[in-house]
Structure 1
Amino acid sequence: MSTDVSGMIECRPLARIWGKDDEDTIWHAAIDLSLLNTGNAYDALACLFGVRNSFGFQALAEGRGLPDDASDVLRAAFNAWGGPQHAHGTTWINWAELAAAHWDETDRSGTRSRSTVAGPGTHWGPVWDVMRTLAELHGPEHVRLVVWFD
């Protein structure tokens, strides 16, 4: 049985101006992952999110769940997809964490690097481009990718 990734990029556009604790600083859905990432490489899912990790990667963001402060649009998409009853591996990662990641780290065999399987030259490249652009505008800690799997 295959594993597919679904998700969305979110950002908090006013957090950089008002601070993350201001009542007007809420997460907004920016773009659905399906519009940017058309791949389904298991080694990428393993190194990023710990899903189907038979490769032995140290996952960047595994099992964090759906953020409590997820945007209404993201929450509606997650629930329309089937919610927690049908999703597994739900997690999120912000741009600050992605930018600080050790992209040369390899899997257990030492043959696949994080960059090789999920870096800019892979099907994840457009996702990272959008997140980087939003982070330049709103701050790296105010842009995140939220994903779930079937």
Structure 2
Amino acid sequence: MGTDIAGGLEIRPSGPGSPWLLADLSLDALPRHYDAFGLLFGVRNYAGFAPVASGRGLPEDASSDLLGLQLTDGEHDHTWVAWAELARVDWTTQAPRVDDRIHEYELTGEGPRFVGKSARHGNAWRTVAGEDADPRGSSYPEGTAWRTHDRLWRVERLSHGDVLRVDPQLRALFDTMRNLAERHGDDNVRLVVWFDS
């Protein structure tokens, strides 16, 4: 079973001390993107990022409209992040460790083509690496690779920028937050989220 994100974007149009309001924006467009979940909130953090805003819980001053979005008791990892914090993220920074998942590439005439990341249950690379190979990429040095005639598996470290490069919906959300912050101030725009597994 996978993990999905829910929540909303809040603004404080009148500044500090005024109530937060739920912006008319749904997080339904955000895909199940574990690298983004890990980087921003520490959830499904296989890539080993130092999370920006994990484990904060729901804000005490959350809007009633936002609180009305919570539908089940199965939600977890409630947290929030202000645009002021996201605006300070250095997108060139690398994760402190290598990814737990082994990255798979198809070898083509134009060069390697990224296929995906092997989770703990990914076994195709073991044919080359050997049955005793550890399924966690983080148990090998960065750059360790296994190769067969048309496949390459490699242990890699992600950067913050890698997350944005592959997630246009997240970039669009950040653009919206930036635009709102220009009108209301960086500390008056925040993303409040929780997860469902």
Report if TM-score (shorter chain) is over 0.5.
yes
Report matched runs for 1:1-150 at 5 Å: 1-15=1-15, 20-21=16-17, 25-30=18-23, 31-34=25-28, 37-78=29-70, 81-82=71-72, 85-107=73-95, 108-109=97-98, 111-118=157-164, 122-150=168-196
Give, in angstroms, the shift of residue 121 of structure 1. Answer: 5.7
Q: Normalized against structure 1, the TM-score is what?
A: 0.85
Q: Secondary structure at the match of 1:146?
A: strand
The superposition leaves residues 75-96 of structure 1 with CA deviations (integer Å, 9 ceiling, x where unpaired) of: 1112xx21xx311111000000
**Root-mean-square deviation (CA), in Å?**
1.6
Give, in angstroms, the shift of residue 119 of structure 1. Answer: 5.8
Moved over 6 A (4+): none
Q: Residues 22 and 63 of structure 2 are in contact (CA less than 8 Å); yes or no, is this contact kept in structure 1?
A: yes
Higher Rg? 2
CA distance in 1, matches of 2:184, 2:46: 36
CA distance in 2, matches of 1:96, 1:40: 24
- Give 5+ residue unaligned stretches, structure 1: none
Higher helix share: 1
Higher strand share: 2
Q: Secondary structure at the match of 1:77?
A: coil
Distance 1:70 1:119, change over 3 A: farther
Give, in angstroms, the shift of residue 32 of structure 1. Answer: 2.1
CA distance in 2, matches of 1:77, 1:117: 26
Give, in angstroms, the shift of residue 101 of structure 1. Answer: 1.2
Identity %: 43
- Aligned residue pairs total 137
CA distance in 2, matches of 1:146, 1:4: 14
Distance 1:56 1:120, change over 3 A: closer
